[in-house]
Amino acid sequence: MTTQALVSEIKKKQSFLCIGLDVDLTKIPSHLLELEDPIFEFNKAIIEATHHLCVAYKPNIAFYEAYGLKGWTSLQKTITYLNTNHPEIFTIADAKRGDIGNTSTMYAKAFFEDLAFDSITVAPYMGKDSIEPFLEFKDKHTIMLALTSNAGAFDFQTLTTSKKPLYQTVLETSKGWKNSQNLMYVVGATKATYFSEIRNIVPDSFLLVPGVGAQGGSLAEVCKYGMNAQIGLLVNSSRGVIYASKGLDFATQAAQKAQTLQLEMADLMSDIL
Amino acid sequence: MTTQALVSEIKKKQSFLCIGLDVDLTKIPSHLLELEDPIFEFNKAIIEATHHLCVAYKPNIAFYEAYGLKGWTSLQKTITYLNTNHPEIFTIADAKRGDIGNTSTMYAKAFFEDLAFDSITVAPYMGKDSIEPFLEFKDKHTIMLALTSNAGAFDFQTLTTSKKPLYQTVLETSKGWKNSQNLMYVVGATKATYFSEIRNIVPDSFLLVPGVGAQGGSLAEVCKYGMNAQIGLLVNSSRGVIYASKGLDFATQAAQKAQTLQLEMADLMSDIL
């Protein structure tokens, strides 16, 4: 998917919501457990109930790998379902991969070609030649960890390097990489005040923002400092939407939570569009 | 597997060789392609030909994920084969994972419980709470990227933080994490002179060393600066061993390459044991 198509979809739906499909069998409604593929059935119901309210879905790959072959099958069915029935949706493999060149190429093929995701999250620690193989794919997007939303973000990401915090060096350096136009960045919503510094370095890039909702970030703060003329934000909510209810009404309850966020987004976007 | 069991095995076999099972269908002997599961058949033959010469096998997960469900099946069969037939072998899931707490727990379960690997490689960028979930598992080992062997290592890992290069801060900080006795570190062999600095910080930890062979590092240099009284090294070779030949004799040729390395190791160990 092109960035332009994503922006159009955001404008059309008045939403930059990304829903995290982090499916834990202990948390989904029990009536689904009797079905052959409870994870896929859960995802399908959530997607059908919420796809008009969001522009992206983000399965965290860990939750699928934890169930081995069965989990991988559920992931494959979910992405195929999305690509077949909702091709306008931007799909994110939240995989946080990164390895030396030829191995990164294998990961890129796995997620961009075999599974046909629009994008993947990657970790920057191994540097340029671990990320560039992902950037070679046309109309595919590579979302690099910059400043994450967890407590451990302060262990290394905010350390000073060349008089700047590491995450700023990461952002600046990555702009010089080949095909860097295919880069997006993960920026945690729990640190909204950092957004203005980040926007000085990457004014035009899309930022994937986890941590609104269960992790405690404020949507209004994120938008105040992080939004650009193309919106430039994908705000994710996982648990806050998909586990709204454990009952038969889980999908409609999820839709309600998604709608609350979407309405808030439409309001916050109104100044710009 | 306990560290003590690994050390015993190293002493018994006079080898600290780790063989990387990074299987690419375009590189394996063509007669295997007619079989139902060429990747597993290739691995099985390599394992049978080399298991007496090495103490560890390291499948890089990217190479399996690239083949989707089929690849995941081959991985599962390979680790089951190793655990059933060669339980004395130390197994490494080269996955370079790392995510926020609950997600890291899912990855830990996937690789330590479902697949029953002895260890996994992880990336440090997200800090303490992204790694500690892996460290909770008894007799399981978490191998953290410190200084990698690729060119991109110099993008961030060697930047100065608090007057020290980032990778040294990563090493020092991680020593304070809960269950840090379960940590090992990835240290690239292409920078052998860094090993003495690293040994000042983590004298007793095992170091997983990629980059000997195809990537160009020298085994003697690595040992000179990196070996400790317990050896404390696992030196990996992937392509240099497993793709020694494309013919019917691929497994015996692989064994020959492995033996050359093992003999060199036995020689280098002789001063210590």
Could you read off the pLDDT of A79-117 as tens digits, one per residue?
999 999 999 999 999 999 999 888 999 999 999 999 999
- Averaged pLDDT for residues A164-183: 89
Tokens of B50: 């080399």
pTM: 0.87
Query: Comparing A163 with B66, which gets the higher pLDDT?
Result: B66
- Averaged pLDDT for residues A190-217: 83
- Residues near B216 by Cβ (< 8 Å), separated by ≥ 6? B190
Q: What is the pLDDT of residue B51?
A: 93
Spatial contact of B130 and B97, defined as CB atoms under 8 Å apart: no
CATH classification at residue B245? 3.20.20.70
Q: What is the pLDDT of residue B273?
A: 63
Q: What is the pLDDT of residue B210?
A: 82
From the CA of B54, how many Å to the nearest CA of chain A?
Answer: 23
- Residues near B68 by Cβ (< 8 Å), separated by ≥ 6? A72, A76, A110, A114, A115
Q: Place A215 in a pLDDT band, splitting at 50, 70 and 90.
A: low
**Residue B260: other Cβ atoms inside 10 A:** 15
Q: Place A152 in a pLDDT band, splitting at 50, 70 and 90.
A: confident
- Rounded to an integer, what distance in angstroms lies between the CA atom of residue B2 and that of residue B186? 19
Q: Is A60 on the interface with B (CB under 8 A)?
A: yes
Taking CA atoms, A191 is separated from A172, A210, B268, in Å, by 19, 11, 51
Contacts of A116 in chain B (CB under 8 A): none
Pairing of strands B160-161, B164-165: antiparallel
Q: Is A194 on the interface with B (CB under 8 A)?
A: no
A66 and B110 within 8 Å at the Cβ level: the answer is: yes
ipTM of the complex: 0.84
CA-based max dimension of chain A = 57
Burial B197-231 (b: 16+ CB within 10 A, else e): bbbebbeebbbbbbbbbebebebebbbeebbeebb
The beta-carbon neighbor of A156 closest among B106, B129, B166 is: B166
Residue in A with minimal Cα distance to B66 = A110
Percent of chain B with pLDDT over 70: 97
Residue B142 DSSP SS3: strand
From the CA of B127, how many Å to the nearest CA of chain A?
Answer: 4
pLDDT at B149 over 80: no
A68 and B123 within 8 Å at the Cβ level: the answer is: no
**Among A148-152, A234-238, B63-67, which is the least confidently predicted range?**
A148-152
CA-based max dimension of chain B = 57
Spatial contact of B161 and B201, defined as CB atoms under 8 Å apart: no
Q: What is the pLDDT of residue B194?
A: 86
CA atoms within 13 A of residue A147's CA, in its CB half-sphere: 23
Strand residue runs (E) in B3-72: 17-20, 56-58
- Rounded to an integer, what distance in angstroms lies between the CA atom of residue A243 and that of residue A250? 7
Q: Which candidate in A11, A70, A77, A96 is catalytic?
A: A96
B157 and A65 within 8 Å at the Cβ level: the answer is: no
Spatial contact of B93 and B61, defined as CB atoms under 8 Å apart: yes
Q: Place B78 in a pLDDT band, splitting at 50, 70 and 90.
A: very high
A129 and B114 within 8 Å at the Cβ level: the answer is: no
Q: Place A147 in a pLDDT band, splitting at 50, 70 and 90.
A: confident
- Rounded to an integer, what distance in angstroms lies between the CA atom of residue B137 and that of residue B1? 11
Known catalytic residue: B246?
no
Mean pLDDT (chain B) is 90
Q: How many domains does chain B have?
A: 1
List, as ranges, residues 107-136 from A with C-beta within 8 Å of B: 107, 109-111, 114-115, 123-131
- Residues near A200 by Cβ (< 8 Å), separated by ≥ 6? none
Q: Is A75 on the interface with B (CB under 8 A)?
A: no
The closest alpha carbon to B16, from B259, B248, B252, B236, belongs to B236
Contacts of B173 in chain A (CB under 8 A): 155-156
Contacts of A60 in chain B (CB under 8 A): 99, 103, 106
- Rounded to an integer, what distance in angstroms lies between the CA atom of residue A76 and that of residue B68? 8
Contacts of A128 in chain B (CB under 8 A): 151-152, 155
A107 and B162 within 8 Å at the Cβ level: the answer is: no
From the CA of B272, how many Å to the nearest CA of chain A?
Answer: 33
Mutate to test the interface with B, among A25, A74, A155 (most CBs of B within 10 A): A155
End-to-end CA distance of chain A: 22
Q: What is the pLDDT of residue A272?
A: 72
pLDDT at A214 over 70: no
**Residue A36: other Cβ atoms inside 10 A:** 7
pLDDT at B182 over 70: yes
**Max avg pLDDT among A202-206, B175-179, B243-247:** A202-206
Tokens of A269: 């976007």
Spatial contact of B234 and B55, defined as CB atoms under 8 Å apart: yes
Q: Place B192 in a pLDDT band, splitting at 50, 70 and 90.
A: confident
pLDDT at B240 over 70: yes
Q: Is A80 on the interface with B (CB under 8 A)?
A: no
pLDDT at B209 over 70: yes
Q: Place B241 in a pLDDT band, splitting at 50, 70 and 90.
A: confident
Contacts of A150 in chain B (CB under 8 A): 100-101, 126-127, 129-130
Q: What is the pLDDT of residue B5?
A: 93
Contacts of B76 in chain A (CB under 8 A): 68-69
Percent of chain A with pLDDT over 70: 97
**Among A40-54, A130-144, B89-103, B181-195, which is the least confidently predicted range?**
B181-195
pLDDT at B214 over 80: no
pLDDT at B191 over 90: no
pLDDT at A218 over 80: yes
Domain containing A30 equals 3-269
B128 and A152 within 8 Å at the Cβ level: the answer is: yes
**Among A158-162, A176-180, A218-222, B82-86, which is the least confidently predicted range?**
A158-162
B125 and A127 within 8 Å at the Cβ level: the answer is: no
- Residues near B212 by Cβ (< 8 Å), separated by ≥ 6? B189, B218, B219, B222, B235, B236, B237, B240, B261
- Rounded to an integer, what distance in angstroms lies between the CA atom of residue B256 and that of residue B125? 39
Q: Is A273 on the interface with B (CB under 8 A)?
A: no
The closest alpha carbon to B160, from A170, A164, A175, A146, belongs to A164
Query: Comparing B217 with B120, which gets the higher pLDDT?
Result: B120
From the CA of A262, how many Å to the nearest CA of chain B?
Answer: 25
Q: Is A161 on the interface with B (CB under 8 A)?
A: yes
Percent of chain A with pLDDT over 90: 53
The closest alpha carbon to A56, from A96, A98, A7, belongs to A7
Q: Which candidate in B70, B96, B128, B164 is catalytic?
A: B96
Phi first, then psi, for residue B266 (nearest 5°) are -55, -40
Mean pLDDT (chain A) is 90
